[in-house]
């Protein structure tokens, strides 16, 4: 990717600033687009804080961070954003019509060899983009907060070319991320499908009164998460025993909770009372004394330490991967 330097990030809301900051920190020129100057002003402030965190944590070489802020251009013009870009990623609203319009513009403005991707969490963007763009189209799903968590899911569409997948994997590895490939599209990809299953069970356990939120979080923090850093969810089965896994399926030891009802669930009741979590000051925990900004700041800094530990284990695997068909 050495001869291709400019990346367009379309959307400066929740995810766009963090994504733009990572590309700029890796020495790429970035154009960050939003429809309004107000959103861009907020993005500038967010990115300044991200670069400050990068310097404090020494996450990127000092020489690349030195000029990172100057490598980001802010614009309310899509043509200006994509001019000269070899790659454009959209992180606009999860509304089909909005995404379809962005793809229409990108199809008109970008050269044929340019790559287009979406940061969507669930949507099948391959049904929305023009047919002639499909070979160089993929989903590139970042995880919040994108400037800290290493995972990037790169999802292959029905017609996505292997060269496109290889370039996207190489790009994000060069940016210090930990990209993973999905060989075909399914809603939610890897991470959100796993999270959805855990979310469903969490909801059932809490809603039916089997445990308190504190005890449930304590159970996970003291078992699944530390173990997951080392073994993930698949290699853990190796250590438990494939035979045990087979027997557990045969036994069908318990019935999973069903999907929570949209009309009757604990989250709706809490939201109606204004208990929205960190942003309102109260959720399952109370953040009013700490304040939402300080809570988010501490989240970022503590999460960095967890990521460092995850990387420590990644560099020291137990066993070696097998070829699998």
What value does the mean pLDDT take over residues 111-136?
A: 97
Q: What is the pLDDT of residue 323?
A: 77
Count of beta carbons in the 10 Å neighbourhood of residue 125: 23
283 Cβ neighbours under 8 A, 6+ residues apart: 270, 275, 276, 277
At 133-166, the pLDDT tens digits run 999 999 999 999 999 999 999 999 999 999 999 9
Task: Delineate the domains of the chain, giving CATH numbers in brackets.
Answer: 6-182 (3.40.50.720), 195-314 (1.10.1040.10)
Contact present, 115 and 167 (Cβ < 8 Å):
yes
Beta bridge partners of 73: 31
Report percent pLDDT > 90 for the chain.
69
At 191-217, the pLDDT tens digits run 999 999 999 999 999 999 999 999 999
Q: What is the pLDDT of residue 32?
A: 98
pTM over 0.85: yes
Average pLDDT, the chain: 92
Contact present, 70 and 114 (Cβ < 8 Å):
no
Beta bridge partners of 179: 152
Q: What is the pLDDT of residue 143?
A: 96
Contact present, 100 and 133 (Cβ < 8 Å):
no
Q: What is the pLDDT of residue 17?
A: 97
Name the pLDDT band for 324 (thresholds 50, 70, 90).
low
Render 172-199 in DSSP notation, one character per residue.
HHHTT-EEEEESS--TTTTHHHHHHHHH
Q: Are strands 137-142 and 151-156 parallel, antiparallel or unpaired?
A: antiparallel
Q: What is the pLDDT of residue 2?
A: 56
Least confident segment among 5-19, 102-116, 118-132, 281-295? 281-295
Distance, in Å, from the CA atom of 221 to the CA atom of 211, rounded to the nearest integer, reads 15
Residue 66 scores a pLDDT above 80: yes
At 243-301, the pLDDT tens digits run 888 888 788 777 888 888 888 888 888 999 999 998 899 999 899 999 988 998 898 89
Q: What is the pLDDT of residue 1?
A: 54
């Amino acid at each position: 990717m050495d001869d291709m330097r400019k990346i367009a990030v379309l959307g400066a809301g929740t995810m766009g600033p963090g994504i733009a900051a990572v590309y700029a920190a890796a020495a790429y020129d970035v154009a960050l687009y939003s429809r309004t100057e107000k959103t861009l002003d907020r993005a500038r402030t967010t990115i300044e804080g991200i670069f400050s965190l990068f310097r404090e944590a020494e996450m990127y070489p000092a020489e690349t961070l030195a000029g990172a802020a100057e490598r980001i251009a802010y614009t309310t013009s899509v043509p200006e954003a994509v001019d000269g870009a070899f790659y454009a990623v959209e992180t606009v609203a999860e509304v089909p019509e909005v995404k379809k319009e962005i793809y229409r513009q990108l199809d008109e403005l970008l050269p044929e060899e340019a790559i287009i991707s979406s940061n969507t969490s669930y949507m099948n963007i391959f049904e929305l983009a023009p047919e002639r763009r499909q070979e160089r189209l993929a989903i590139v799903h970042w995880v919040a907060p994108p400037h800290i968590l290493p995972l990037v899911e790169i999802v292959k569409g029905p017609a996505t070319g292997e060269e496109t997948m290889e370039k996207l994997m190489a790009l994000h590895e060069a940016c210090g991320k930990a990209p993973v490939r999905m060989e075909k599209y399914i809603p939610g990809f890897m991470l959100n499908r796993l999270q959805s299953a855990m979310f469903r069970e969490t909801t059932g356990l809490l809603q039916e009164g089997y445990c308190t939120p504190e005890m449930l979080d304590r159970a996970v923090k003291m078992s699944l998460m530390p173990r997951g850093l080392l073994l993930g969810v698949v290699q853990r089965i190796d250590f438990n025993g494939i035979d045990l896994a087979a027997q557990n399926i045969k036994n069908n030891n318990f019935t999973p909770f069903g999907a929570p009802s949209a009309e009757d669930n604990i989250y709706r009741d809490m939201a109606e009372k204004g208990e929205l979590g960190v942003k309102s000051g109260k959720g399952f925990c109370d953040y009013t004394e700490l304040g939402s900004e300080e809570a988010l700041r501490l989240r970022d800094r503590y999460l960095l330490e967890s990521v460092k530990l995850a990387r420590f284990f990644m560099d020291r695997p137990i066993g070696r991967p097998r070829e699998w068909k």
